């Protein structure tokens, strides 16, 4: 119900949702061309090259991959399916998701082997592109099983999406050699690129005259190359302005909304990590800065106090690197002898 004096700013809020599939992709033409080169053989009935998309959150990896699936279906008749491996972290759940999406009849049995055989039969004379988003969220054993078995399917191309290229090098050697993907790096957006993305979304999502170019440029500046944060900030700012019955989005709405979007982003990133990642983050956050050796001993102490089995020291180093890659933590080489790093929580 709309009250008589209520101002509508968010005319089409769905366009600012994370699940919205944009009609066009900005500033990623070179990436689309490279992925297209990998998958081109599938349009000729041949086995394509796999692609590994990596880069920081908000760099457009998922949006680009999903847009490409739509394009392949509409222009080449190639079927595609999207699987989020955070929501489906096991080989069984990935197969189940693919079977439901492709409507493979008879794959309802609770057996990984049975589902895989059904999928093999279904794609034997077909061509399918499978996007495995957040592939790094599947446990190592499951990740290897997913990639090893899906790669062997005839006429299937894999597009793997994750934050780090290093996840590929952590795969079993037999999986690495079979997969052998083209590794495509997504750099963060420039301020001008983010402005263009925001401008297009705002034109479709907000009421005419409800925002200014300067507001969009401010969001593009504070978002620091992260499209997810930029779009969420715009949505939150518009909601605040509408709630307060303003004519348009103002600068003070942007700054309040940005703080909210950063909290949401941090919570989202941490929710995708293990309890050990989160514990390390909490230990780093307790101090202005902490050296890697001190962090390791603090971590072991926390594990003893909670009765938790600690990870190995080598894994500890990888987990710290993961926090840095996600932008949750900053690290620099300490000005002391040895391979010592100093960690602080990212602003």
The pLDDT tens digits of the residues spanning 195-223 come to 999 999 999 999 999 999 999 999 999 99
Q: Indicate whether 34 and 181 sit together in one domain.
A: yes
Give the residue from 269, 285, 300 where a domain finishes.
269
Q: Indicate whether 85 and 210 sit together in one domain.
A: no
CATH number for the domain that contains residue 122: 3.40.50.300
Find the range with the poorest average confidence among 146-160, 260-274, 277-291.
260-274
In a domain, 19, yes or no: no
Q: What confidence score (pLDDT) does residue 1 get?
A: 43
Q: Indicate whether 229 and 157 sit together in one domain.
A: no
Give the residue from 241, 269, 297 where a domain finishes.
269
Residue 233 to residue 25: CA distance in whole angstroms:
20
Characterize 31-65 residue by residue with b for buried, 16 or more Cβ atoms within 10 angstroms of its Cβ, and e for exposed: bbeebeebbeebeeeeebbbbbbbbbbbbbbbbbb
Q: Indicate whether 278 and 265 sit together in one domain.
A: no
Q: Indicate whether 219 and 164 sit together in one domain.
A: no
How many residues make up the chain in this entry?
A: 347
Mean pLDDT of the chain: 91
Residue 154 has pLDDT above 90, yes or no: no
**Among 212, 185, 181, which Cα is nearest to 199's?**
212
In a domain, 24, yes or no: no
Residue 303 has pLDDT above 80, yes or no: yes
CATH number for the domain that contains residue 249: 1.10.8.60
Residue 259 pLDDT class (50, 70, 90 cuts): confident
In a domain, 60, yes or no: yes
Give how many domains the chain has, as a whole number: 3
Q: Indicate whether 253 and 341 sit together in one domain.
A: no
Q: Indicate whether 111 and 235 sit together in one domain.
A: no
Give the residue from 253, 269, 285 where a domain finishes.
269
In a domain, 106, yes or no: yes
In a domain, 265, yes or no: yes
pLDDT tens readout for residues 3-18: 445 679 999 999 999 8
Q: Do 283 and 298 meet the contact criterion of CB atoms below 8 Å apart? A: yes
Q: Indicate whether 61 and 177 sit together in one domain.
A: yes
Q: Indicate whether 50 and 132 sit together in one domain.
A: yes
In a domain, 110, yes or no: yes
pLDDT tens readout for residues 318-340: 899 889 988 899 998 876 666 78
In a domain, 21, yes or no: no
**Among 183, 175, 121, which Cα is nearest to 148's?**
175
**Among 145, 155, 161, which Cα is nearest to 95's?**
145
Mean of pLDDT values over 302-329: 92
341-345 and 329-333 strand pairing: antiparallel
Residue 187 to residue 189: CA distance in whole angstroms:
6
C-beta contacts of 21-26 below 8 A and 24+ residues apart: 21/63, 21/66, 21/67, 21/70, 22/63, 22/67, 22/200, 22/201, 24/200, 25/60, 25/63, 25/64, 25/67, 26/193, 26/196, 26/197, 26/200
Q: Indicate whether 118 and 172 sit together in one domain.
A: yes
Residue 224 to residue 219: CA distance in whole angstroms:
9
Q: What confidence score (pLDDT) does residue 107 get?
A: 67
pLDDT tens readout for residues 53-77: 999 889 999 999 999 999 999 999 9
The pTM of the full predicted model, rounded to 2 decimals, is 0.84
Residue 19 pLDDT class (50, 70, 90 cuts): confident
Residue span of the structural domain in which 247 resides: 189-269
């Amino acid at each position: 119900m709309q009250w008589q004096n209520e101002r509508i700013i968010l005319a089409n809020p769905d366009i600012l949702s994370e699940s919205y599939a944009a009609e066009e992709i900005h500033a990623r033409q070179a990436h689309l061309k490279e992925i297209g080169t990998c998958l081109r053989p599938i349009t000729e009935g041949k086995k394509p090259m796999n692609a590994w998309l990596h880069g920081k959150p908000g760099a457009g990896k998922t949006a680009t991959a999903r847009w490409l699936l739509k394009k392949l279906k509409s222009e080449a008749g190639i079927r595609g399916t999207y699987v989020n491996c955070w929501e489906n972290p096991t080989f069984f759940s990935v197969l189940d998701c693919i079977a439901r999406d492709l409507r493979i009849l008879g794959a309802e049995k609770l057996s990984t082997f049975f589902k895989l055989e059904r999928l093999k039969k279904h794609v034997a004379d077909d061509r399918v592109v499978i996007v495995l988003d957040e592939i790094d969220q599947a446990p190592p054993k499951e990740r290897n099983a997913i990639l090893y078995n899906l790669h062997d399917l005839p006429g299937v191309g894999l597009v793997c999406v994750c934050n780090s290229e290093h996840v590929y090098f952590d795969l079993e050697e037999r999986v690495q050699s079979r997969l052998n993907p083209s590794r495509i790096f997504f750099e963060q957006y420039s301020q001008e690129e983010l402005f263009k993305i925001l401008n297009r979304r705002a034109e479709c999502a907000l009421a005419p005259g409800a925002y200014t170019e300067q507001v969009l440029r401010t969001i593009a500046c504070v978002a620091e190359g992260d499209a997810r944060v930029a779009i969420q900030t715009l949505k939150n700012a518009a909601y605040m302005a509408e709630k307060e019955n303003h004519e348009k989005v103002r600068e003070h709405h942007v700054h309040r909304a940005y703080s909210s979007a950063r909290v949401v982003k941090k919570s989202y990133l941490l929710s995708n990590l293990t309890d050990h990642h989160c514990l390390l983050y909490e230990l780093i956050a307790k101090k202005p800065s902490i050296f890697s050796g001190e962090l390791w001993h603090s971590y072991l102490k926390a594990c003893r106090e909670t009765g938790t089995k600690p990870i190995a020291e080598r894994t500890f180093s990888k987990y710290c690197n993961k926090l840095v890659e996600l932008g949750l933590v900053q690290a620099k080489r300490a000005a002391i002898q040895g391979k010592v790093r100093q960690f602080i929580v990212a602003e």
